[in-house]
Structures are given as structure tokens and as C-alpha cells.
């Protein structure tokens, strides 16, 4: 039985692939999130932007999946960025020090301008 409540959409903006995250990022989201990354990486994307503006919930297992994505992007020499995080999740990224490895931006436009 799966309890995956994550929907992803992949968009392109020049050399950046955007993964729109809608719903919950938990341990049940692994296949959905990794499949989205695989699709987003096709076409030689130089940067991957995780758009969390429709994120409903993120737990410690979800943080672990984001760390896995970070490792994968680093191996591919890609930049991993995030936008649309609420203040609560921005604080979690600071506490886990993910903000030191992942570029955090308020909006998609700000992230794309920084690429």
C-alpha cells in the first residue's frame, strides 16, 4: 500500500529544469521525486529548481530525499536551488544547513535570475 501524496510537474526555463512540488514530501515520495529528477535532468540541465510553493508537508524522510537529490545534482555538476518555501520550511533548511548547499530563493523569478 502506498501513501504517496506528491505530484510533480517538470518545466524548462533555458538551461534550468523546474520541478513543481505539490503535496507532501515524505518517505513515500521517493519514486515520484527521483523520477521527476531523472526527467528534469534530461536535456543537460545546468540547474534544477525545486518549486515548493505548493508544498503541504515535509518530514525528516522528505529532507533525506532532498539530500539524495543534492548528491545526484552534485555528481552531475548541476546546481540545486529551491524557491517558494514558507518561513517554517526555510527555518528547517537553516537548521539542517541545507541552505548552505542549496540556493534558497523567495520566488521562481529570483532563482532563475541567479542561474
CATH code of the domain in which 97 resides: 3.30.750.24
Query: What pLDDT is recorded for position 16?
Result: 96
Looking at the domain assignment, is residue 78 inside a domain?
Answer: yes
For residue 1, the model assigns a pLDDT of 38
Q: What is the C-alpha radius of gyration for the chain, rounded to an integer number of angstroms?
A: 13
Could you tell me the three cell numbers for 110? 529570483
Cell of 43: 536535456
Number of domains making up the chain = 1
Residue 4 is predicted with a pLDDT of: 74
Supply the pLDDT for residue 44.
82
CA pair distance 51, 53, nearest whole angstrom: 6
Q: What is the dihedral sign for C-alpha 35, 40, 43, 48?
A: negative
**Helix, strand, or coil here: 13?**
strand
Residues of the chain with pLDDT under 70: 1-3
What is the predicted pLDDT for the residue at 100? Answer: 96
Q: Are 76 and 17 in contact (CB under 8 A)?
A: no
Q: For residue 83, is it within any domain?
A: yes
User: What's the grid cell of residue 41?
Assistant: 535532468
The pTM of the whole model exceeds 0.85: yes
> What pLDDT, on a 0 to 100 scale, did the predictor assign at position 3?
66
Q: Which domain holds residue 83?
A: 6-114
DSSP string, 69-103: HHHHHHHTT-EEEEE---HHHHHHHHHTTGGGTSE
**Is residue 20 situated within a structural domain?**
yes
Domain assignment present for 60: yes
Residue (of 31, 39, 44, 47) closest to 10 by Cα position: 39
In a domain, 1, yes or no: no
Amino acid at each position: 500500500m502506498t501513501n504517496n501524496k506528491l505530484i510533480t510537474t517538470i518545466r524548462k526555463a533555458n538551461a534550468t529544469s523546474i520541478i513543481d512540488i505539490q503535496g507532501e514530501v515524505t518517505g513515500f515520495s521517493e519514486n515520484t521525486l527521483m523520477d521527476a529528477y531523472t526527467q528534469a535532468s534530461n536535456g543537460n540541465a545546468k540547474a534544477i529548481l525545486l518549486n515548493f510553493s505548493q508544498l503541504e508537508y515535509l518530514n525528516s524522510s522528505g529532507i533525506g530525499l532532498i539530500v539524495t537529490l543534492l548528491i545526484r545534482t552534485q555528481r552531475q555538476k548541476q546546481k540545486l536551488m529551491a524557491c517558494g518555501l514558507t518561513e517554517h520550511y526555510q527555518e528547517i533548511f537553516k537548521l539542517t544547513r541545507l541552505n548552505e548547499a542549496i540556493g534558497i530563493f523567495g520566488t521562481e523569478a529570483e532563482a532563475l535570475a541567479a542561474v
